[in-house]
């Protein structure tokens, strides 16, 4: 019981901090204002960031599911509780650093958060009865992966990286392709549908943000969206691992 109370309190605090950072102001500006300062071709349209509310809703459902499992062996473990609280603290630390323009420090926190989310993700075995507990973490994990890639792109542009002579548009396509490969890997090896769906949402936002100004990026984003959708529908589950 105390574990659920602890993660609920930490989640509520993180939600208020994140909403304030992204849409209101923290240290004099919002997260979106900072992102939009630079021409980041990988950055999606602003509406994409409302996915945070979906993430938070699913995390509350995740907690609710554990309330029903209080007397079960499937109840959240001390390890899972500790990792989740650590993840939320890292999210706040990353946003705080970002808003004070300590971008390297911010991405280090975000990278540790991403690794911790993957560790939490792996605590859920590939069994059908565990899917409702794994899906919220998968959504959170996927969105954090995208944000990490976006932060990385921002830092490269901010530092004036020359891209080894390749155009920004081509690098955006390469990075989106890497993101697609990661999503398809999770789809195939972990039978995870939620993870690639988040990338589909983000890539649609990238296509809309670039429009006709960067046709290569827009076309690639839409093409890779199709690839991810095909992966969701055509990759078959492994019955031996989902029983």
The angle subtended at Cα 181 by Cα 93 and Cα 175, nearest 5°, is 60
Neighbours of 243 (CB within 10 A): 9
Give residue-wise pLDDT tens across range 11-38: 999 999 999 999 988 878 899 999 999 9
Give residue-wise pLDDT tens across range 183-198: 999 998 888 999 999 9
Tell the residue number behind the tokens 């029983």, with chain if given: 243
Entry pTM: 0.94
**CA nearest neighbour of 124 among 55, 52, 65:** 65
Q: What are the angstrom distances between the C-alpha of 64 and each of 18, 147, 195, 203?
A: 21, 26, 21, 31
Q: Residue 77 gets which letter from DSSP?
A: P
| Nearest-angstrom CA–CA distance, 198 and 19 | 19
| Nearest-angstrom CA–CA distance, 84 and 90 | 10
Question: How far is the first Cα of the chain from the last one, in angstroms, to the nearest whole number?
Answer: 29
| pLDDT score of 237 more than 70 | no
> Structural domain boundaries of the chain?
2-234
| pLDDT score of 93 more than 70 | yes
Give residue-wise pLDDT tens across range 36-55: 999 999 999 999 999 999 99
Give residue-wise pLDDT tens across range 58-75: 999 999 988 888 777 788
Average pLDDT, the chain: 91
| Nearest-angstrom CA–CA distance, 49 and 242 | 32
């Amino acid at each position: 019981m105390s574990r659920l109370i602890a993660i609920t309190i930490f989640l509520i605090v993180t939600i208020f901090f994140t909403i304030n950072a992204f849409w209101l102001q923290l240290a004099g500006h919002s997260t979106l204002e900072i992102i939009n300062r630079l021409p980041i071709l990988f950055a999606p349209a602003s509406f994409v960031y409302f996915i945070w509310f979906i993430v938070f809703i699913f995390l509350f459902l995740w907690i609710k599911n554990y309330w029903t499992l209080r007397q079960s062996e499937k109840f959240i473990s001390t390890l899972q509780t500790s990792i989740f609280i650590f993840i939320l603290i890292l999210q706040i630390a990353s946003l705080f650093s970002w808003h004070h323009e300590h971008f390297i420090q911010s991405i280090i926190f975000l990278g540790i958060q991403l690794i911790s989310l993957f560790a939490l993700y792996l605590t859920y075995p590939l069994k059908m009865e565990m899917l409702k507990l794994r899906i919220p973490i998968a959504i959170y994990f996927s969105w954090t992966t995208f944000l990490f890639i976006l932060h990385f792109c921002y830092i490269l542009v901010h530092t004036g990286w020359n891209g080894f002579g390749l155009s920004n548009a081509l690098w955006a396509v390469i990075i989106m392709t890497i993101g697609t490969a990661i999503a398809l890997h999770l789809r195939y090896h972990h039978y995870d549908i939620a993870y690639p769906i988040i990338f589909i949402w983000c890539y649609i936002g990238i296509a809309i943000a670039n429009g006709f100004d960067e046709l290569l990026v827009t076309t690639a984003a839409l093409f890779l969206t199709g690839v991810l959708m095909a992966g969701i529908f055509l990759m078959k589950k492994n019955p031996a691992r989902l029983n």
